[in-house]
Chains A and B, each alone.
Chain A
């Protein structure tokens, strides 16, 4: 017998989730600092963050939200083939990304727009894949962020292997924050059902690999609630693999920062992997092709709208006199500029030349590709089709 009826809301009729204790939380949904139950070990990890740091986090969350809204609009206008919205997950993404050292490496799934923003990946490049213009879009070596992976959970093994490489490079356990390196990989509640995620935990566990498994439980894998993925809380998943695990309020940017900092510290020190469940909510649809009204209740969406992670940081800043109207206006202006930049930049992305489909199939010559490319170029020249790109206005 299933534990819940498929399609039922994840929690109660008021849209509230089922019991989620224990949960690391440092800031309440209304913006007050939380001290009970005892979270001193995590509080100490955010003590050094100034009001300016908090404002930076807020700014990056706002810019991530704006990116999301603009990309959604661009898809509606036919400029993107598809877009996977991250609305509601800004705290989990920005908070965890803030904890990373520059030498740490990120393996995202395909919704980590906030992580990519913090790591400095050009916003237009982040949409090349969704425009159907490139299967990747950026150089992983420049940002230490691997390309998006669409096959759910596959990249969790790549992250683990990469971390095993860092171990072999001798880059853990020196106590040098500029040298010790680790990996963080992002995936969702649905991905935890994939064998590759479990295998990643197995390989990371037995090798004590420096990798942080950051699971954003946004409660919906397209139409399936987390109860269809696991009868047990996801954060307990790590335990059986010998991987320390923690559940954090994914809408609390400081708590997400703190638990990620703790996990990275362990990884850098040679203490091995950590499993983090960031309990959050996918406020938008799975992608622009999805219609959540078919499977979830308005009350639940409203419950989470009242717990918007961006509002929480704003409330905290206001409560602690960190809010500044002139600065807030600057953030708004920056968001406007980002929107304009995306609208222009995405429209200017031309199609690659047709012959690009034959490039980089192999790193060295392969007779089949060579022969088919030669045939194609001959065919194009004889039939008069242009092989050049369709230009900047496409």
Chain B
């Protein structure tokens, strides 16, 4: 079955499918129940699944994730919502010292199938702490999977795979894309085994085929990269756009396959470039594709400054023009 859904609604339907398929799945967070979440991503779920499964929690992020860990130890599969990116840090300790490590620490005896949904990224004119991109901080922690969809179809598929996954998943939702629409095809809910191997949690997606330069992006910047590719096409340059989907694990194979063909690579994300996911991509591409490279791998990201006031965010975020500038520099080598 296929229908046209907004990005946000695709996540809702992914959650609904998980709640219907597995009675152990819970949704929990601040305002996720009656209100349906501040972005309405959980709209209608409490009405359909009850207050014990779609839980309005106290206003305490560490408490949300800490109790989710306890629920997971009891056999539940909690999906936690952190209301905004900048508010994940009270839970950072629970995520990095506990959630990420309990499977390892117990030598596999304990499983932590917890999903942490984080609306992230900028471009919506918000006030401080509502526009950040902290994904690299989590990808640096072994034991966590870190993913970010860029299309409604991936949002739906990746949410279901994340909930079914036996590993903890940090699910970064590009909030600036919530209102975009796309066709979404629904299917059978995956088993834990299927989810663990699911391509959507492990494999990059080629969003556009091209031969002259590789644009690597994920989440909100995939749309930017596609606009860049359109602009380049008008100039006679064809860009390969690789949508990583996951930054942990990083699908180095897919990126390297592309760069070996194009010889040039530009990585785009909203998070600051310094020590961001793009730095890892650049290092790995250099290792894997050294003899194919015609130019150094370039990065376009946020600056090493706190996320600026909304009036300046469009200068901070990687714009089509800034990516085009980087592509021009790569092509000029």
Contact = CB atoms under 8 A, between A and B. Distances in A.
Q: Do A and B come from one complex?
A: yes
Interface stretch (B38-46, B209-217, B249-257, B300-308): B249-257
Interface in A358-372: 359-369
Contact of A159 (B57, B70, B107): B70
Interface string B41-67: 000000000001000011010110111
A362 B74 contact: no
Interface stretch (B93-101, B259-267, B324-332): B93-101
Contacts of A159: 70
Given A160-B70, A367-B202, A361 B104 contact: yes
Contact of B63 (A134, A139, A157, A359): A157
Interface string B82-99: 000000001001100110
Size class of the B contact interface (CB-based, 8 Å):
35 or more
B5 to A, nearest CB: 28
Contact of A134 (B57, B69, B107, B196): B107
B94 A157 contact: yes
Interface in A122-150: 134-136, 139-141, 146-147, 149
Nearest to A364: B196
A223 B22 CA distance: 49
B314 interface: no
Contacts of B291: none
A168 interface: yes
B99 to A, nearest CB: 10
A161 B70 contact: yes
Interface stretch (A89-97, A194-202, A271-279, A311-319): A194-202
A367 B73 contact: no
Given A151-B97, A162-B74, A364 B166 contact: yes
Contacts of A154: 66, 93-94, 97-98
Q: Determine the interface band of chain A, counting residues with CB < 8 A from chain B.
A: 35 or more
Given A136-B105, A361-B142, A362-B167, A368 B70 contact: no
B224 interface: no
Contacts of A162: 70-71, 73-74
B106 A161 contact: no
A118 to B, nearest CB: 21
B108 A363 contact: yes
Contacts of B165: 363-364
Given A199-B66, A362-B143, A168 B167 contact: no
Given A157-B69, A195-B62, A200-B66, A139 B109 contact: yes
Interface in A7-53: none
B107 A161 contact: no
A159 B104 CA distance: 19
Contacts of B153: none
B51 to A, nearest CB: 11
Nearest to B66: A157
Contacts of A165: 70-71, 73-76
Given A364-B167, A366-B145, A164 B110 contact: no
A135 B69 contact: no
Contacts of B26: 168
A255 interface: no
B103 interface: yes
Nearest to B63: A199
B111 interface: yes
A163 interface: yes
A206 B30 CA distance: 14
Contacts of A166: 74
A343 interface: no
Contacts of B202: 365, 367
A114 to B, nearest CB: 22
Contacts of A139: 106, 109
B65 to A, nearest CB: 8
A360 B58 contact: no
Interface of A: 134-136, 139-141, 146-147, 149, 151, 154, 156-169, 195-196, 199-200, 202-203, 206, 359-369
Pairs A-B, 9 closest by C-beta atoms: A161-B70, A157-B66, A364-B196, A165-B74, A161-B67, A199-B63, A363-B166, A162-B70, A135-B105
Given A162-B70, A199-B66, A367-B249, 14 more contacts: A140-B106, A147-B110, A154-B94, A154-B98, A156-B66, A161-B70, A162-B71, A164-B71, A168-B71, A203-B58, A361-B103, A363-B111, A363-B166, A364-B193
